[in-house]
Amino acid sequence: MMFFRKAIVLIHGFAGGPWDHQNLSNELQLFIDFDVYNIILPGHDKSIITNVKRNDWISSVECLCDKLIDSGYKTIYVMGHSMGGVIATYIATKYKQVKKLILVAPAFKYLKFKDNKLDVINSLKTVPSVFKEYEEKEVIGRILKVPIPTTLEFTHLVKEHADDVKNVSVPTLIIQGDKDSIVPYESSLYVHDNIKSEVNILAKMKGVTHDVFNGSRGDDTISLIKEFLRKRHFKKGKFKIEI
């Protein structure tokens, strides 16, 4: 029976958790041939800790995938949000069992650093509308509460795995909100332009912020993902759509 079932691995973003995509997880649980696996990356269960390393995040997902394969899964779908999108991209290049990839606001472009210190001012200049999306205190609070060494691990992760996109060959859906002030559209465009997938879809969603699954169009995002996961045959090519 296991061989006919599909595993779906959901990877959250930096300083986030499975609660960010809980609505998606709940919807996918309704499909009888899907088994959904949410992962909590090391250091993200309660608070970001200083001794967590980027390889810990990678290894935790690898460990889950290894267990799924050992259990008999032949087909694995992977979804990554923000930093989770960077990790998901790498996973898709490593395991032949990964048959579909979904990247939601993949964070290949993010905060800026100078001399190994977070450059808050220039980071915020790159996303001038960020304060329209979030309260100022919340933005500063999020940045300051994460230890700099941990944030640097994130930036090193992105730098080390930026070229992984060039080795992606499975059908890929990229979702980007046009109101995302955290991860710019250029990040998703970078993936779209560089992956080798014969099915390569970049969906720009109008009025959608970085809080993709819980915003006003969360249901639309989830429906788009479900359609991509359920569909068996796709028209080959690179496609950009606006929804």
Q: What are phi and psi of 107, to 5 degrees?
A: -90, 60
Pairing of strands 113-114, 117-118: antiparallel
**Residues 149-168, mean pLDDT to the nearest whole number:** 92
**Residues 4-11, mean pLDDT to the nearest whole number:** 94
pLDDT of residue 66: 98
pLDDT above 70 as % of the chain: 83
Tell me the per-residue pLDDT of 175-201, one tens digit each, with 9 for 90 and over: 999 998 888 899 999 999 999 999 999
**Residues 148-153, mean pLDDT to the nearest whole number:** 84
Coil, helix or strand at residue 239: strand
Three-class HEC string of 84-149: HHHHHHHHHHHCCCEEEEEEECCCCCCCCEECCEECHHHHHHCCCCHHHHCCHHHHHHHHHHCCHH
Coil, helix or strand at residue 44: coil
CA 214 to chain CA mean position, Å: 15
Coil, helix or strand at residue 16: coil
Decide if pLDDT at 116 tops 70: no
Specify whether the CB–CB gap between 99 and 170 falls below 8 A. Answer: yes
pLDDT of residue 131: 43
pLDDT of residue 140: 44
pLDDT of residue 111: 54
Decide if pLDDT at 23 tops 80: yes
pLDDT of residue 187: 93
pLDDT of residue 120: 46
Coil, helix or strand at residue 232: coil
Q: How many CB atoms sit inside 10 A of residue 236's CB?
A: 11
Q: Which amino acid is at 56?
A: D
Cα torsion angle, 47, 48, 50, 51, sign = positive
Q: Which long-range contacts (CB under 8 A, 24 or more apart) does 54-58 make?
A: 54/153, 54/154, 54/156, 54/157, 54/160, 57/83, 57/87, 57/157, 58/87, 58/90, 58/157
Take residue 53 and report the two structure tokens written for it.
């390393």
Angstrom CA distances, 220 to 22, 58, 212, 238, 243, stand at: 15, 30, 10, 22, 9
pLDDT of residue 121: 46
